């Protein structure tokens, strides 16, 4: 029987009512009295020296409040980077300054040079056109390998070169890994590209800065996944505003996918300008601006090698990756190709020796940072592609080769510094074999052939590290922040609850699933629990939502706070029931004395807490409100096995996905419907990366795919009906809910399944194709078949 409430119930997403009826409150819905608008004049060339900016004519145009250029921000901090990576020689990464408005040079198309604040947006745009701007164009650095050549043009003159860092992991294992390759019976190697992506959330970024002269308080309304992080970074490092004078509000946010984690120049600008102009200042990104100013994702070029012994056991993995940082370091950029990527290179396999080398490179392109999965899709893609290629080279069944090398005993310490607490990789693979009907594949392939199509089957596994992250560990790894989460549970006098969380919801349905957890613990109706998030003024300091961390870390904080509430409520109940506290039981929203019929309702206890006439005032304080901070002791490790079946049209190279099955292990599940939805969305994005999405620059650093006319997003008719299962459950051992997180899995696990399937289809037709770089667009597939 499915439950109709609490943990495990597919409760309908309560937030959808406002989203679907136009009653949401997005940042662009916020309009302040007397608000002015800012338009950013952005660089349309990739690299150059600014020789002249003359704003005098523009400043006199109708409606102009003030025009800002880089010189207005001398002495103001630049955009901070939140993670310092140490290279293989023990040296810190090269970290260039990142100005709010360009200082002297422009380094990518889209970099803001000047900002015009005016009464209306059109006036701001008119005035921006009247700014006289001269830029001496310099050669653009676009290709990562070219960028590292001796004598290459430097993106930043004050750095040694274009190498942000050269990271070796685990450096001490390098020789042993090399030795294992010398001793290998078989080595499979593969060079591949993990294509650059633009996140493209449905809602573009928006910022509204407001300043209260009377109290010297600044407020920023922004499209963020983590308002507290923005407040800390912007207040402490950029503008010098203490937290108690700075409020950051991220109201309803229409999708983030990582690109709304980071602190952006426009946020700092609007906050700064609101004070400088003594007027609220609003910026709403156009879609065109989003393409050239939102941090991009992925963009790795990798060579991976897999060594096997004579029995096909994996003995070592060696990788060399070039990771594009773009022109500046976005907030968490350095961590993505290192700690979120290298630590996942063991995948689901007991490979004893692994060495990962990552060269992070500056180029004259938009900064690159975390995008759904962040590092883990890149790890999974290369590993699952090389394993597939190895199986083909060895003539063994790709599933059997995987199974043979699966980790089966937990906890398992990988050679890349992490310890998996639980998992059952055979379990998810068994489930997948059932769902995928692999026995029926031959018949389906024959049917496709009759229609002139090539059919292929691709399978892969994935592991991810979620529930980010133990603060002491990430501190050692270079994080300049802690990664705990917080919750305050406020019980009102009449029994309703408000839970204020430091997590943020931007489409994930936290308002529903979080309420389910708290309601279950107390045994009350979900509708008695309200979830509040997104405003630093009324939520405890928390680190926000990304890395599939919200239920695992934010949910755990909520559990801890609710436990404190229950403990205190039991004390009150024991007083009211005149019984020993040890005998008080809470069930279905009532406290009773064990072994008696004496009980007191939840609402009577909460009322007593606020009207403490009959109350143990000598022992406990009145009121019922508790806060907890939860810092996880480990990552969580969701895992799964995916299968994709494609048809390839040999005449055109067009790939269509005919079937897609996903068997995931997310540990315990709070709301199965929401989890299914998260997997669907993740699969759509992963398939989008595999087949459609291609963020491409030309050699001059111009973005070729700068609008939806050229950047292909996945649409419903690009996708099959998904077959999704999460009944394989090995609960997380170290958090109170036993949950692992599900937000990124689909995007991590699906790209290799698609590419494996297409390679299978082409090889079935005798084509000597071992790899095609994503996206597998028709022209690329056709060229590979005919090349």
Partner 1 sequence: MYNFEFEKPGSVADAIAALGTEDAQALGGGQTLIPTLKQRLAQPSKLVSLKGIAEMQGVCTGDDGAICIGGATNHATVASEAGGYPALAATAAHIGDPAVRNRGTIGGSLANNDPSACYPAAALGSGATIVTNTREIAADDYFQGMFTTALDEGEIITEVRFPVPEKANYQKFVQPASRFALVGVFIAKYADGVRVAITGASNDGVFRWAEAEAALSSNFSPDAIDGLSLSGDDMISDLHGTGDYRAHLCGVMTKRAVAAAA
The residues of the shown chain that bind partner 1, judged by CB under 8 A, are: 122, 125, 129, 288, 651-654, 691-692, 694, 696, 704-705, 708-713, 777-779, 782-783
CA-to-CA dists, residue 313 to 191, 208, 354, 394, 407, angstroms: 22, 57, 14, 12, 12
Residues 155 and 174: their CA atoms lie apart, in Å, by: 31
- Cβ of residue 704: shortest distance to partner 1, in angstroms? 5
- Between 129 and 447, name the residue whose CB sits nearer to partner 1: 129
- Cis ω on the peptide bond leading into residue 170 (within 30° of 0)? yes
Going by C-alpha positions, the residue among 174, 173, 152 that lies closest to residue 163 is 152
Neighbour count for residue 30 (Cβ, 10 Å): 17
| Distance, CA of 369 to CA of 329 (rounded, Å) | 8
Taking the complex as a whole, the smallest distance from the CB of residue 685 to partner 1 amounts, in Å, to 15
Instruction: Report, in this order, helix, strand and coil percent for the chain, each rounded to 5.
Output: 30, 25, 45
Distance of closest approach, residue 254 Cβ to partner 1, in angstroms: 19
Sheet holding 64-69, edge to edge: 64-69, 112-118, 36-42, 281-284, 206-212, 217-222, 246-249
Cα 207 to Cα 32: distance, rounded to the nearest angstrom: 12
| Cβ-based nearer residue to partner 1, 44 or 243 | 44
Q: Which is nearer to partner 1, 516 or 694 (by Cβ)?
A: 694
Measured from the CB atom, the residue of 125 and 154 that comes closer to partner 1 is 125
Nearer to partner 1, 605 or 691 (CB): 691
Q: Please report the DSSP string for 539-576 in residue order.
A: S-----S-TT-IIIIIHHHHHHHHHHHHHHHHHHHHHH
Nearest approach in angstroms of CB 697 to partner 1 is: 11
Q: How far is the CB of 113 from partner 1 (least distance, A)?
A: 17
Query: What span, in angstroms and rounded, lies between the C-alpha atoms of 705 and 712?
Result: 9
Of 538 and 702, CB closest to partner 1: 702
DSSP 8-state class, residue 622 = S
Q: 426 or 767, CB closer to partner 1? A: 767
Q: Report the nearest approach of partner 1 to the CB of residue 683 (Å).
A: 18
Q: How far is the CB of 778 from partner 1 (least distance, A)?
A: 7
Nearer to partner 1, 525 or 710 (CB): 710
DSSP 631-645: --SS-B--EEEEEEE
Residue 245 or 287: which CB sits closer to partner 1?
Answer: 287
Q: How far is the CB of 773 from partner 1 (least distance, A)?
A: 14
Nearer to partner 1 by Cβ, of 198 and 206: the residue is 198
Closest distance of CB 255 from partner 1, Å:
19
Q: How far is the CB of 721 from partner 1 (least distance, A)?
A: 21
CA dist list (Å): 193 to 196, 278, 395: 9, 48, 25
CA distance 164 to 148: 10
In 3D, which of 708, 703, 741, 773 has the Cα closest to residue 372?
741
| Cα 321 to Cα 192: distance, rounded to the nearest angstrom | 10
Q: What are residue 300's DSSP bridge partners?
A: 194, 323
Q: Alpha-carbon distance 2 to 529, whole Å?
A: 21
385 near 319, Cβ under 8 Å?
Answer: no
In the complex, the smallest distance separating the C-beta of residue 691 from partner 1, rounded to whole angstroms, is 8
Closest CB to partner 1 among residues 656, 763: 656
């Amino acid at each position: 029987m499915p439950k109709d409430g609490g943990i495990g119930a597919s409760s309908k997403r309560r937030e959808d009512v406002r989203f679907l009826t136009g009653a949401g409150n997005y940042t662009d819905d916020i309009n302040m009295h007397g608000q002015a608008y800012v338009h950013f004049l952005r660089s349309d060339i990739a690299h150059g020296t600014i020789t002249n900016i003359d704003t005098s004519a523009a400043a006199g145009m109708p409606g102009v409040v003030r025009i800002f250029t880089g010189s207005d921000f001398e002495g103001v901090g630049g955009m901070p980077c939140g993670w310092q990576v140490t290279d293989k020689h023990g040296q810190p990464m090269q970290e260039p300054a990142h100005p709010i408005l360009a200082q002297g040079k422009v380094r990518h198309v889209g970099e803001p040079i000047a900002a015009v604040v005016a009464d209306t947006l059109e006036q701001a745009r008119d005035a921006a056109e009247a700014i006289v701007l001269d830029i001496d164009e310099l050669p653009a650095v676009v290709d990562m390998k070219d960028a590292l050549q001796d004598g290459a043009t430097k993106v930043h003159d004050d750095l040694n070169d274009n190498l942000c860092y050269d990271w070796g992991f685990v450096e001490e294992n390098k020789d042993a890994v090399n030795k294992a390759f010398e001793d290998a019976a078989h080595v499979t190697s593969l060079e591949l590209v993990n294509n650059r992506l633009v996140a493209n959330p449905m809602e573009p970024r928006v910022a509204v800065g407001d300043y209260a002269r009377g109290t010297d308080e600044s407020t920023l309304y922004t499209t963020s996944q983590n308002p507290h992080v923005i407040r800390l970074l912007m207040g402490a490092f950029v503008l010098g505003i203490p937290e108690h004078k700075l409020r950051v509000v991220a109201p309803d946010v229409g999708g983030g996918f990582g690109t709304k984690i980071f602190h952006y120049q426009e946020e700092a600008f609007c906050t700064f300008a609101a004070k400088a102009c003594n007027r609220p200042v609003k910026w709403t990104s156009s879609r065109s601006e989003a393409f050239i100013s939102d941090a991009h994702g992925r963009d790795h070029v990798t060579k991976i090698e897999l060594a096997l012994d004579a029995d096909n056991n994996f003995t070592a993995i060696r990788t060399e990756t070039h990771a594009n940082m773009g022109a500046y370091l976005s907030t968490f950029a350095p961590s993505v190709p290192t700690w979120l990527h290298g630590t996942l290179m063991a995948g689901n396999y007991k490979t004893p020796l692994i060495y990962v080398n990552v060269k992070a490179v500056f180029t004259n392109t938009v900064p690159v940072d975390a995008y759904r999965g962040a590092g883990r899709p890149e790890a999974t893609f290369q590993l699952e592609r090389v394993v597939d290629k190895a199986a083909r080279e060895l003539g063994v069944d790709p599933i059997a080769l995987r199974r043979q090398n699966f980790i089966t005993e937990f906890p398992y310490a990988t050679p890349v510094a992490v310890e998996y607490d639980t998992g059952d990789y055979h379990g998810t693979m068994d489930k997948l074999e059932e769902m995928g009907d692999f026995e029926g594949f031959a018949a389906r392939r024959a049917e496709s052939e009759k229609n002139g199509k090539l059919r292929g089957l691709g399978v892969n596994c994935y592991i991810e590290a979620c529930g980010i992250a133990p603060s002491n560990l990430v501190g050692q790894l270079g994080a300049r922040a802690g990664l705990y989460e917080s919750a305050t549970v406020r019980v009102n006098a009449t029994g309703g609850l408000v839970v204020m969380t430091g997590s943020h919801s931007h489409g994930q349905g936290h308002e529903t699933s979080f309420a389910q957890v708290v309601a279950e613990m107390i045994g009350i109706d979900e509708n008695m629990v309200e979830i509040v998030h997104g405003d630093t003024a009324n939520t405890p300091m928390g680190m926000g939502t990304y890395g599939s961390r919200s239920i695992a870390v934010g949910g755990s904080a909520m559990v801890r706070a609710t436990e404190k509430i229950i403990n205190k409520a039991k004390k009150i109940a024991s007083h009211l029931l005149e019984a020993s506290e040890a005998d008080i039981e809470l069930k279905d929203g009532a406290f009773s004395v064990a072994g008696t019929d004496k009980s007191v309702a939840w609402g009577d206890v909460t009322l007593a807490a606020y009207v403490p006439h009959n109350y143990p005032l000598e022992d406990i304080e009145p009121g019922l409100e508790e806060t907890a901070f939860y810092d996880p002791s480990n990552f969580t490790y969701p895992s799964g096995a995916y299968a994709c079946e494609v048809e390839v049209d040999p005449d055109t190279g067009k790939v269509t996905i005919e079937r897609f099955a996903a068997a995931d292990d997310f540990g315990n599940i709070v709301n199965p419907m929401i989890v299914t939805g998260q997997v669907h969305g993740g699969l759509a994005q992963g398939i989008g990366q595999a087949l459609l999405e291609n963020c491409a620059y030309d050699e001059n650093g111009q973005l070729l795919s700068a609008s939806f006319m050229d950047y292909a997003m996945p649409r419903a008719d690009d996708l099959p009906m998904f077959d999704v299962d999460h009944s394989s459950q090995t609960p997380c051992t170290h958090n109170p809910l036993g949950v692992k997180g599900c937000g990124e899995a689909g995007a991590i696990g699906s790209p290799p399944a698609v590419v494996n399937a297409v390679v299978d289809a082409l090889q079935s037709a005798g084509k000597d194709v071992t790899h095609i770089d994503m996206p597998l667009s028709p022209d690329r597939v056709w060229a590979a078949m005919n090349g």
